[in-house]
Amino acid sequence: MQDLTEPLVELIRRTSTDLPPDVEKALTAAREREDSGSAARGAMDAILQNVALSRRNSTPICQDTGTPIFYVRYPEGWSARKLKEQIRNAVAEATKRSYLRPNAVDAISEKNSGNNLGDDSFPTIHFEEVEGDEVVVDLMLKGGGCENVGAQYSLPNSALGAGRDLKGVRKAALDAVQKAQGQGCAPGILGIAIGGDRGSSYYASKEALFRPIEDENPDPELAALEKQLTEETNQLGIGPMGFGGKTTTVATKITGMHRLPASFFVTVSYMCWAHRRRRMTVRGAEVIYE
């Protein structure tokens, strides 16, 4: 089995310092929409300058490099145990090279491990054995500010008048974005999961954030709701950084799951403008970064 430690360090470097083109394009479009001279426009200018500067200097886009969340798809014959070891080594090495800030704090002792290695879920790694012969590693860095404003609703919710249907999902999502204000470093991207249990629903809501900003949901009903939620959350007028303005949400990605007859969860994961996610594909000796 190949040693992927060094390619993984490079994956982390790219994710932390080089914002994906689809995200940057959407932020540039958001900038154009804000009135010139407004605080919102100024915020978007600063964000875009910061993105360019980080790429040029190979320094973290944001000092909160978040929880590293890995999704690994590997073919038969690869060892998940060894891959995990290599990922953990790569995370520690990337921290040493200042691509990541030491972020793993023991919740009981308050001690920061200093190398981003905590318990089994820090970094978070999801494994799945797949057909074919490629290893595909997706990485997302999920910052604390935006993670804190994520929310889960158990429907029905009488305060919102939200029932167990897509109309209820819409109401829950609108409420989550209004409550978040600018605290999650708006403008944000919404990852929404409908169904599941509390745990699987959060997991799926983050996985939805890997979808390209401009893709369309294959389910026409969900595609319509995604569009509607992006438009309606923008009507809230929260704007970049909560300064007021036209863009609060850049895109919405929704995924449906199975649920228990007794439960109906709507989970909203909020991703800040610094939507750091990258993919690495290993095809034989070749490593391809997207």
Partner 1 sequence: MRALSLPISEEAIRSLNVGDPVALSGVMITGRDAAHKWMSDTFIKKTRQPQGDDLEVYEAIKPLLVGGAIYHCGPVVSGLDTKDYRFVAAGPTTSTREEPYQGDVMRHFNIRAVIGKGGMGAKTLAACKEVPGVYLHAIGGAASLIAQTVQKVTGVYKLSFGVPEAMWVIEVRDFPAVVTMDAHSNSLHADIEAKSKAELERLLAV
Rule CB under 8 A: which of 120-159 touch partner 1? 143, 145
Task: DSSP letter for 209, please.
Answer: G
Task: Compute the distance between CA of residue 244 and CA of residue 246 in angstroms, rounded to an integer.
Answer: 7
List the one residue out of 16, 19, 20, 47 whose CA is nearest residue 247: 47
From ligand SF4, partner 1, none, which one binds at residue 242 (CB under 5 to 8 Å depending on kind)?
partner 1
From ligand SF4, partner 1, none, which one binds at residue 137 (CB under 5 to 8 Å depending on kind)?
none
SS3 category, 134: coil
Minimum CB separation of residue 26 from ligand SF4 in Å reads 15
163 binds partner 1 (CB under 8 A): no
From ligand SF4, partner 1, none, which one binds at residue 235 (CB under 5 to 8 Å depending on kind)?
partner 1
Maximum C-alpha span of the chain: 58
**Strand 276-283's sheet: what is its strand order?**
124-130, 67-75, 135-142, 276-283, 286-289
Minimum CB separation of residue 120 from partner 1 in Å reads 26
SS3 category, 205: helix
Contact predicate 23/62, CB 8 Å: no
**How many residues belong to the site for partner 1 (CB under 8 A)?**
44
From partner 1, ligand SF4, none, which one binds at residue 263 (CB under 5 to 8 Å depending on kind)?
none
Distance of CA 143 to the CA centre of its chain: 9
Rule CB under 8 A: which of 166-185 touch partner 1? 171, 174-175, 178, 181-183, 185
Rule CB under 8 A: which of 197-236 touch partner 1? 232, 235-236
From ligand SF4, partner 1, none, which one binds at residue 53 (CB under 5 to 8 Å depending on kind)?
partner 1
196 binds partner 1 (CB under 8 A): no
Token pair 């000092």 in the structure block, residue: 63
- Quote the crossing angle between the two packed helices 5-17 and 80-96, to the nearest 10°: 50
Compute φ and ψ for 35, nearest 5 degrees: -65, 140
Minimum CB separation of residue 142 from ligand SF4 in Å reads 8
272 binds partner 1 (CB under 8 A): yes
Task: Compute the distance between CA of residue 261 and CA of residue 272 in angstroms, rounded to an integer.
Answer: 33
List the one residue out of 14, 3, 2 whose CA is nearest residue 89: 3
Rule CB under 8 A: which of 7-46 touch partner 1? 38-39, 42-43, 46
Pick from 242, 252, 255, 264: which binds partner 1 (CB under 8 A)? 242
Pick from 68, 118, 123, 239: which binds partner 1 (CB under 8 A)? 239
SS3 category, 105: strand
Task: Draw the binding track, 66-105, toward partner 1 (x: CB under 8 A; -: no contact).
Answer: --------------------------------x--x----
List the one residue out of 81, 74, 87, 83 whose CA is nearest residue 133: 74
Residues that bind partner 1 (CB under 8 A): 38-39, 42-43, 46-47, 49-50, 53-54, 57, 59-64, 98, 101, 143, 145, 160-161, 171, 174-175, 178, 181-183, 185, 232, 235-239, 241-244, 272-274
